[in-house]
């Protein structure tokens, strides 16, 4: 009896131990740790029960072989077996899977190959972090804890957006980004292909879009502070994707069960198109050039703005619809996604309001204001898309002046646009900037690479995001995205730094059950994924480990308060120009900052080891934070 009791106790203890080793992102629906582990060997074979399962089996073999140096083969039967269900399991849907790991073998079953692909990603995350290595790692054992996982996504639209206009990303970089997101079960790559700063897609019937629109004058330094282009200055900073490149990337994404949502941002954000074809805008100003990151707008505190250069297409010009017909028919032929994103955001109407053609059109169509004129434009664009077999999605400004009949809305200025669209019975993708804009600062500006971001979205804020607002029928919420604008993201390494860990948080939000949300548990999984990223050579930010310093003035005294996003960190500080460490004072209550040229320096530790960056805040900066100085 005693022996049985001890055996049960030991089994439970072992299962708990392996549960601690299981750190899957996104968190699966159900994880049941079992006793023992599966050990990979150079003799392991990867089986595929049906031909349709072979591509995933081959991908798994390539990945395992790269890191282990083994030469595992794929064949009909193996110790790791991938099978499509003969009878669909209704719980799993199109993307779900069951992953069984036992000491004898591994079985992944799913209704569709996409489910096998996601099961493979979870399996890989059970192996040691070194499995992410791009070169063979010498290791005595490659094993995965025994477990039964049943898993399927909460949302069918799990997207990430990359802006390739503000900075161009090579074909290889785009593939790398797609790869990194597919690991985390994203299934939509939203490709922001055109904007004021570059037109990045070849349109064969409109060659100037890339001959002129894909090039701008070269500038170095701080985006937004660049000089405007000189009239005759050569435009040497170029980049675009040929249609062959696009087809290659679409196929690459499809192999990873990711669909590409192309965006052509109109009628605003069109300076690159206008630089190529000036007749498309009201002013027909032939001096307009592709913007290199110099300021051309004034933004006001009430959220309105003025474009000092005309960057909007002219909605009263039939030539504009002919132009868009050409653009969208070529785009529709390149991308299998049922949707095309047409932008619709931040369009300045000032030039329309002064244009005789626009005024005449408004009169003729009975349009009461420029919002209705934009709505007229978008309804025409929707018809163009429909004629090409596509559905329209746009940023939430497309609601203004009346939503096009079948349009879906991507809500970015908050949740409100999404709520309004869902109430009207339209589909919605949620990507509110104050939660999931991963271009925004994620830590203290003093120590982040981009100090001038207009807002901050810390990891915990991102993780707190709930895409289905109270009282809204969830059937209208297709899912959500994390969006990376790239004004200040010139390289793929920086794109990774901005994306991770926040895109790990959004992976959980869009895949995992709402009830699985647990911040400390996410942080512990995140840390394991940082280790994996290290092996993969993938960049990420550790900003969530940094201290958060605020300041206030209390009875004339300057006080500094320090908190952390992550529990269990110790903050050490100095006020005497030395570096803080575990032997300098430990922060326990708000600090009074003495008069004089004092700098508060803080650093975070955990279990006696530094985990965050040092943040140094001169008294002046603390006063500014206390609201005393701009
Ligand atoms: C946007 O961020 N302008 C959609």
Domain 157-536 in the same topology as domain 2-151: no
* pLDDT score recorded for residue 19: 56
> Is residue 461 within 8 Å of residue 434, measured between CB atoms?
yes
Give the 3-state DSSP-derived string for 80-103, with helices as H, strands as E and coil as C: EEEEECCCCCCCCCCCCEEEEEEC
pLDDT band at 21 (very low <50, low <70, confident <90, very high): confident
Determine the atom of ligand 1 nearest the C-alpha atom of 410: 4
Average pLDDT over residues 199-219: 98
* pLDDT score recorded for residue 454: 75
**Residue to mutate, 194, 346, 398, 487, ligand 1, most ligand atoms under 8 Å from C-beta:** 346
Distance from Cα 138 to the centre of ligand 1, integer Å: 46
Annotated catalytic residue, options 95, 151, 163, 195: 195
Residue 462 CA from chain centroid, whole number: 11
Residue 208 neighbours by CB distance under 10 Å: 14
* pLDDT score recorded for residue 131: 97
Question: Above pLDDT 90, what percent of the chain?
Answer: 94
- Which tens digit of pLDDT belongs to each residue from 286-309? 999 999 999 999 999 898 999 999
* pLDDT score recorded for residue 12: 47
* pLDDT score recorded for residue 4: 56
Largest separation between any pair of C-alpha atoms in the chain: 94
Question: Distance between CA atoms of 375 and 398, rounded to whole angstroms?
Answer: 7
Annotated catalytic residue, options 179, 233, 245, 346: 346
Average pLDDT over residues 463-482: 98
Distance from Cα 412 to the centre of ligand 1, integer Å: 6
The C-alpha angle 67, 500, 154, rounded to 5 degrees, equals 95
Query: Could you tell me if the CB of 437 is within 6 A of ligand 1?
Result: no
| SS3 of residue 311 by DSSP | coil
**Six-digit token string for 513:** 């059950």
* pLDDT score recorded for residue 20: 59
**For 485-620, where are the E strands, in sequence order?**
547-554, 557-564, 570-574, 591-592, 599-606, 609-610, 615-618
- Orientation of helix 370-387 relative to helix 356-365, angle to 10°: 80
Q: Is pLDDT of 6 > 90?
A: no
Fold of 157-536: TIM Barrel (3.20.20)
Query: Could you tell me if the CB of 377 is within 6 A of ligand 1?
Result: no
**Six-digit token string for 317:** 């010009």
* pLDDT score recorded for residue 5: 52
Q: Is pLDDT of 438 > 50?
A: yes
Distance from Cα 77 to the centre of ligand 1, integer Å: 50
> Is residue 153 within 8 Å of residue 510, measured between CB atoms?
yes
Secondary structure element (H or E) that encloses residue 419, with its range: helix 416-423
**Residue to mutate, 159, 412, 454, ligand 1, most ligand atoms under 8 Å from C-beta:** 412
Could you confirm whether domain 546-625 is CATH 2.60.40? yes
* pLDDT score recorded for residue 33: 97
Q: Is pLDDT of 206 > 50?
A: yes
- Which tens digit of pLDDT belongs to each residue from 252-278? 999 999 999 999 999 999 999 999 999
Q: How many Cα atoms occupy the beta-carbon half-sphere of 241 within 13 Å?
A: 27
Q: Is pLDDT of 181 > 80?
A: yes
Average pLDDT over residues 555-563: 97
**Six-digit token string for 63:** 């990945």
Q: Is 195 an active-site residue?
A: yes
Distance from Cα 163 to the centre of ligand 1, integer Å: 11
Provide the mean pLDDT of the chain: 96
Domain boundaries defined on the chain? 2-151, 157-536, 546-625
Tokens 């059937």 correspond to what residue? 475
- Which tens digit of pLDDT belongs to each residue from 311-345? 999 999 999 999 999 999 999 999 999 999 999 99
Query: Could you tell me if the CB of 346 is within 6 A of ligand 1?
Result: yes
* pLDDT score recorded for residue 3: 55
> Is residue 326 within 8 Å of residue 205, measured between CB atoms?
yes
Average pLDDT over residues 434-446: 97
> Is residue 129 within 8 Å of residue 532, measured between CB atoms?
yes
pLDDT band at 446 (very low <50, low <70, confident <90, very high): very high
Contacts of 294 (CB under 8 A, 6+ apart): 219, 224, 225, 226, 227, 228, 229
Q: Is pLDDT of 1 > 50?
A: no
Pairing of strands 97-102, 105-110: antiparallel
More confident residue, 10 or 400: 400
Question: Distance between CA atoms of 13 and 359, rounded to whole angstroms?
Answer: 76
Average pLDDT over residues 433-438: 98
Pairing of strands 391-395, 408-411: parallel
C-alpha distances in Å from residue 28, one per residue of 109, 147, 169, 356: 15, 12, 32, 58
Q: What pTM does this model have? A: 0.96
Q: Is pLDDT of 227 > 50?
A: yes
Average pLDDT over residues 109-126: 98
Distance from Cα 337 to the centre of ligand 1, integer Å: 21
The answer to whether the Cα torsion of 564, 566, 568, 572 is positive or negative is negative
Average pLDDT over residues 512-536: 98
Tell me the helices (H) and strands (E) count for the chain, helix number first: 18, 28
Beta pairing partners, 192: 163, 263
**Six-digit token string for 616:** 């140094």
Question: Distance between CA atoms of 123 and 359, rounded to whole angstroms?
Answer: 61
- Whose C-alpha lies nearest to ligand 1, atom 3? 345
- CATH assignment, 2-151: 3.30.379.10
* pLDDT score recorded for residue 449: 87
Contacts of 285 (CB under 8 A, 6+ apart): 274, 278, 309, 310
- Interior/surface letters 410-445, b for 16+ CB within 10 angstroms, e for the rest: bbbbebebbbbbbeeebbbbbbbbbbbbbbbbbbbe
* pLDDT score recorded for residue 2: 53
> Is residue 60 within 8 Å of residue 106, measured between CB atoms?
no
């Amino acid at each position: 009896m005693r022996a049985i009791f001890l055996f049960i106790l030991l089994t439970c203890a072992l299962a708990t131990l392996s549960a601690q080793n299981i750190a899957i992102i996104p968190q699966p629906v159900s994880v049941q740790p079992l006793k023992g582990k599966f050990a990979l060997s150079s003799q392991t074979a990867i089986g595929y029960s049906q031909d349709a399962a072979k591509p995933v089996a081959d991908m798994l073999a390539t990945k395992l072989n790269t890191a282990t140096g083994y030469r595992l083969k794929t064949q009909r039967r193996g110790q790791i077996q991938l099978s499509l269900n003969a009878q669909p399991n209704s719980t799993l849907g199109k993307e779900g899977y069951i992953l069984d790991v036992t000491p004898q073998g591994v079985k992944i079953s799913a209704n569709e190959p996409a489910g096998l692909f996601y099961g493979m990603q979870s399996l890989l995350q059970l192996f040691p972090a070194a499995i992410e290595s791009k070169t063979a790692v010498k290791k005595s054992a490659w094993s995965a804890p025994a477990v039964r996982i049943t898993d399927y996504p909460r949302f069918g639209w799990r997207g990430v957006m990359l802006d390739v206009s503000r900075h161009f990303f090579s074909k290889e970089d785009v593939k790398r980004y797609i790869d990194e997101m597919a690991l985390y079960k994203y299934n939509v790559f939203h490709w922001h292909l055109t904007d004021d700063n570059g037109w990045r897609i070849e349109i064969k019937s409109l060659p100037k879009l890339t001959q002129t629109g894909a090039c701008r004058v070269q500038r170095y330094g701080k985006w937004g502070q660049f000089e405007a282009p000189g009239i005759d200055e050569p435009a040497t900073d170029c980049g675009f994707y040929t249609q062959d490149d696009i087809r290659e990337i679409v196929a690459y994404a499809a192999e990873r069960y990711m669909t590409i949502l192309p965006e052509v941002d109109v009628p605003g954000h069109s300076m690159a198109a206008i630089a190529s074809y000036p007749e498309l805008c009201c002013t027909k100003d032939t001096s307009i050039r592709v913007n290199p990151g110099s300021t051309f707008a004034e933004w006001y505190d009430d959220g309105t703005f003025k474009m000092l250069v005309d960057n909007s297409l002219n909605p009263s010009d039939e030539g504009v619809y002919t132009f868009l017909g050409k653009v969208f028919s070529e785009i529709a032929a390149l991308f299998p996604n049922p949707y095309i994103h047409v932008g619709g955001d931040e369009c300045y109407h000032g030039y329309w309001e002064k244009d005789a053609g626009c005024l005449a059109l408004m009169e003729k169509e009975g349009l009461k204001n420029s919002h209705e004129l934009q709505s007229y434009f978008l309804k025409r664009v929707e018809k163009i898309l429909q004629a090409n077999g596509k559905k329209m999605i746009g940023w939430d400004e497309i609601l203004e002046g009346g939503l096009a009949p079948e349009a879906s809305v991507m809500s970015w200025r908050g949740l409100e646009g999404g709520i309004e669209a869902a109430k009207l019975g339209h589909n919605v993708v949620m990507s509110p900037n104050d939660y999931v804009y991963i271009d925004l600062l994620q830590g203290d500006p003093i120590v982040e690479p981009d100090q001038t971001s207009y807002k901050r979205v810390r990891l915990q804020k991102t993780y707190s995001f709930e895409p289905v607002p109270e009282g809204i029928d969830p059937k209208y919420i297709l899912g959500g995205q994390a969006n990376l604008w790239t004004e200040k993201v010139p390289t793929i390494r920086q794109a990774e730094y901005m994306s991770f860990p926040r895109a790990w948080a959004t992976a959980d939000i869009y895949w995992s059950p709402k009830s699985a949300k647990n911040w400390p548990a996410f942080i512990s999984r995140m840390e394991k994924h940082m280790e994996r990223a290290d092996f993969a050579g993938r960049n990420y930010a550790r900003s969530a480990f940094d201290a958060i310093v605020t300041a206030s003035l209390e009875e004339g005294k300057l006080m500094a308060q320090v908190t952390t996003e992550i529990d269990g960190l110790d903050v050490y500080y100095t006020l005497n120009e030395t570096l803080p460490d575990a032997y300098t004072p430990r922060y326990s209550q708000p600090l009074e900052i003495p008069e004089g040229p004092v700098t508060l320096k803080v650093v975070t530790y955990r279990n006696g080891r530094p985990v965050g960056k040092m943040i140094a805040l001169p008294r002046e900066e603390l006063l500014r934070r206390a609201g005393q100085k701009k």
